[in-house]
Amino acid sequence: MKRLFLLLALFWAAPAFAQDEGPRVQARLVAEDRAVAPGGSITIALEEIIAPEWHTYWKNPGDAGAPTVIEWTLPAGWTAEAIQWPRPMRVPVGPLMDYGYEGKLWLLSKINAPADAKVGETVTIKAAASWLVCKNICIPEERTLTINVPVGPATPDAAVAKEFAAARALLPVASPWKMTYSMGSAGALGQTLDLYVAAPGLVAAHPKSVDFFPARPGLIKNPAPQLVGYAKDGLVLRLTPGNKVAAPLEGLLVVASSSDDSVQALEVNASPGAVPAAEFPAGATEGDLTLWLAILFALLGGLILNVMPCVLPILAMKALAVAQHGTEGRRESFSYALGAVVSFAALGAVLLALRAGGEAIGWGFQLQSPMVVAGFALLVFTVGLNLSGVFEVGSITAGEGLTRKSGPVGAFFTGVLAVAVAAPCTAPFMAAALGFALSQDAFAALAIFVALGVGFALPFILLGVWPRALSFLPRPGPWMLRLKQFLAFPMYMAAGWLVWVLAQQAGPRGVAIISAAMIFVALAAWLWSVTRDLSSRGRRLGAIAALVVLLAALWGLSQLHGATAAPVAQGTRGEAYSAAGLASYRAEGRPVFVDATAAWCITCLVNEEAVLNKQVVQGAFAQKNVVYMVADWTNRNPEITALLKDNGRSGVPLYLYYAPGAAKPQILPQLLTDAIVLAALEG
């Protein structure tokens, strides 16, 4: 604000010739009635006729400026009420946003006469008015104006009746609808402030424009876009909060009709409360986020995803693919990248389609299905069998065969599998981009998902664009067979982890089914392998036998449909999350830490074991009487999905700390340390 005051001082110190051009505002006082009765009141307007391209200011001038001030000089016993401010307009000035008026402005004030005012006398009312008028420079102006008002029967002045009616039409009215607000996401994106108007009629009317004017400085960031979204039962205006947000949220909501030229200003006096999810138009921003910035975040998030803990089990597959490239691996690099990009786009399309159909799901939804988890477990287990040499696909053998590639098709499906296992978790930047994507239309959302895939595949894309980098890899040789066999074990570890995930979802019965299916898959792989050296008839019989056994394994997976098990809290000291429970603790003034996690999110499990379950952190929770709630998203849970969405996220992990009395939670990073958690508790 010091810079703004300095800016105004410079404007006031403008060259003298600017003053010589005469006043930019012509002013006078106008009375609504020809007389005022004893004990009655009369409305007097300060009329400002503002020079073209210049403007004066509303009661909250915005980022710079000063409002009009009227100092009344009245006879003894007479009183003046506050200015009745008409709705303002947004006036952009470079990077700033002011609130003010252009053209002709009437500021109404009510003057009250005492009961002992003498009928027949005429009183002189004096107003010392001052204002700041701005264009490229700002000039303070002032006038001392007078008006004579007779005391007698109140008689409207027909000559000015229409102008007073027009002035009153610009005044705000009490809102007929309830309004609430809530704070949204924080972190890399900044924060959002959503103002909800519980007016189903506004959804059908689809106003041409909706603008919020804060009553006080610091409530919102004035230049930031104001986004209009529609919920089932009302309108949501998404704002960027300032540094002085306080309850109640006060100001004006100016709504312009799309069916005619009518504009209505409503008084806003909103309390903190629930704000339903809303659909926002394409190209909208969330907080300080734009579509292009979301795409950049998706690229960075996809790149970082390569080193997140949830991706570590499949890094072995990438390492093997790189080792097999040799110096002519451009096609395989691009094929791997294509598989990754197509997979991310496909997952995004399915997610958008399901959400459009009313499903309460988010990123990672595919691993909330026991059948899908079991299918991934079988797939990764099968890859491990291939790496161990139980059966061969392609021509990777020892000696000369090691110099031959598995082909672009194999690289493509390597990218597909990498995404399938890696996608359920989120990386820094990625979470914000996905939360933004799910509020956009299909085209914008898919652009973000594609960018995520490009970022994930970027290392291989670079290898394809700059093939000389492949020359730094060791020359192919027999060592690759040993590496290939060794890399089977991370695949078995990944399969074991997925079986554990399945146990959380489907219980012991699910573990028995997947175990049997794995045995059948191993048998099918062995039958395929041992019959390759037989006659053509023997190979056919071996293939048929392997197919029958494999179909039996897949039939077993179908028995998992609808299987469930009681959710297992990931934190050993946490209690299960519920929206009602959270609200109850917050009403009591208790601090609450929410751990949104899932059994299939390795990043979540690493954070819990390395940080959240440590004695120093749990001790701090106990010392500060913090309620540790676990929002287990292993199985689908609409309440947890809503929690993620309310905080601008679409997947786990998500860590929220609700300080006592805070209007919004603090969102912690996705990769935790002891220091980060302890600092949040102290903050």
Condensed to tens digits (0 to 9), the pLDDT of residues 201-227 reads: 887 777 888 999 999 988 998 888 888
Q: How far apart are CA 64 and CA 92, in angstroms?
A: 11
DSSP code for 293: H
Q: How far apart are CA 63 and CA 46, in angstroms?
A: 25
Q: Is the pLDDT of residue 646 over 80?
A: no
Lowest pLDDT segment from 135-144, 179-188, 613-622: 179-188
- Residue 250's Cβ-side half-sphere holds a number of Cα atoms within 13 Å equal to 9
Which amino acid, residue 177?
A: W
Q: Is the pLDDT of residue 162 over 80?
A: yes
Nearest to 192 by CA among 668, 649, 580: 649
pLDDT on residue 179: 93
Lowest pLDDT segment from 5-19, 471-485, 632-646: 5-19
Give the pLDDT band (50/70/90) at residue 471.
low
Phi, psi of 644 (to 5 degrees): -60, -45
- State both tokens at 212: 């919020």
pLDDT on residue 146: 96
Lowest pLDDT segment from 79-88, 113-122, 543-552: 543-552
Contact 362, 354 (CB under 8 A): no
Contact 290, 432 (CB under 8 A): no
Q: How far apart are CA 408 and CA 324, in angstroms?
A: 12
Give the pLDDT band (50/70/90) at residue 322.
low
pLDDT on residue 174: 92
Give the pLDDT band (50/70/90) at residue 231.
confident
With a pLDDT cut of 70, the percent of the chain lying above it is 76
Contact 426, 434 (CB under 8 A): yes
Q: What is the pLDDT of residues 428-450, one digit of tens each?
A: 566 566 666 665 667 777 888 88
User: 3-state secondary structure string, 310-367?
Assistant: HHHHHHHHHHHHHHHHCCCCHHHHHHHHHHHHHHHHHHHHHHHHHHHCCCCCCCCHHH
- State both tokens at 602: 């390795």
With a pLDDT cut of 90, the percent of the chain lying above it is 26
Contact 130, 68 (CB under 8 A): yes
- State both tokens at 154: 């109140």
Considering 173-187, 264-278, 293-307, the range whose residues carry the highest mean pLDDT is: 264-278
Lowest pLDDT segment from 60-74, 408-422, 483-497: 408-422
Q: Is the pLDDT of residue 172 over 80?
A: yes
pLDDT on residue 36: 94
Contact 309, 602 (CB under 8 A): yes
Give the pLDDT band (50/70/90) at residue 675.
confident
Contact 445, 434 (CB under 8 A): no
Q: What is the pLDDT of residues 356-374, one digit of tens each?
A: 554 445 555 555 667 777 7
Contact 212, 252 (CB under 8 A): yes
pLDDT on residue 598: 80
Over the chain, what is the mean pLDDT?
78
Q: Is the pLDDT of residue 152 over 90?
A: yes
Q: What is the pLDDT of residues 45-77, one digit of tens each?
A: 999 999 998 999 999 999 888 999 999 999 999
Looking at the DSSP bridge assignments, the partners of residue 128 are 71, 144
Considering 135-139, 311-315, 474-478, 574-578, the range whose residues carry the highest mean pLDDT is: 574-578
Q: Is 599 helix (H, G, I), strand (E, B) or coil?
A: coil
Looking at the DSSP bridge assignments, the partners of residue 11 are none
Looking at the DSSP bridge assignments, the partners of residue 96 are 93
User: 3-state secondary structure string, 399-413?
Assistant: HHHHHCCCCHHHHHH
Q: Which residues contact 666 (CB under 8 A, 6 or more apart)?
A: 186, 656, 657, 658, 659, 680, 683
Q: Is the pLDDT of residue 283 over 50?
A: no
Q: Which residues contact 365 (CB under 8 A, 6 or more apart)?
A: 351, 354, 359, 636
Domains of the chain: 2-170 (2.60.40.1250), 179-272 (no CATH), 291-558 (no CATH), 575-682 (3.40.30.10)
Handedness of CA 570, 573, 576, 579 (dihedral sign): negative
Lowest pLDDT segment from 16-20, 128-132, 156-160, 223-227: 16-20
pLDDT on residue 513: 79
Longest dimension (CA), the chain: 126
Q: Is the pLDDT of residue 586 over 70?
A: yes
Q: What angle separates helix 315-325 from helix 408-422, to the nearest 10 degrees?
A: 160
Q: Is the pLDDT of residue 470 over 90?
A: no
Considering 328-332, 383-387, 481-485, the range whose residues carry the highest mean pLDDT is: 383-387
577-600 burial, b if ≥16 CB within 10 A, otherwise e? beeeebeebbeeeebbbbbbbbbb
